[in-house]
Amino acid sequence: MKYTVVKRIHFSHANDYVTVIKEAETFEDAMKFKVAAEMLETKESDNTIQILISTDDAFDFTQKPLMLTGDAETKKAS
């Protein structure tokens, strides 16, 4: 599944302009690209950075649990 990171530029007088920033093979990579792109935006910016997936892949995406790696620890229920 491919994840497309896009920058949406909002205009008050017309439709939004969308430009592709990067494509990623994993959701984790897409999140990294999104965070990096957001860090480059100014605080006054009205632009948004979004991750898009194909509608054909949307069902598969919602059926897979999101597994965090690295910092996640297994805890037993009390």
Q: Does residue 56 lie in a domain region?
A: yes
CA distance 28 to 52: 13
Q: Does residue 74 lie in a domain region?
A: no
Q: Does residue 78 lie in a domain region?
A: no
Q: Does residue 16 lie in a domain region?
A: yes
Q: What is the pLDDT of residue 16?
A: 87
Q: Does residue 30 lie in a domain region?
A: yes
Q: Does residue 21 lie in a domain region?
A: yes
pLDDT tens-digit readout, 58-76: 777 667 666 666 555 555 5
Question: What's the total number of domains in the chain?
Answer: 1
Tens place of pLDDT per residue across the chain (78 aa):
889 999 999 888 888 899 999 999 988 999 999 999 999 999 888 899 999 988 777 777 667 666 666 555 555 555
Domain of 9 in residue numbering reads as: 3-63
Q: Does residue 69 lie in a domain region?
A: no
Q: pTM for the whole thing?
A: 0.67
CA distance 27 to 69: 12
Q: Does residue 31 lie in a domain region?
A: yes
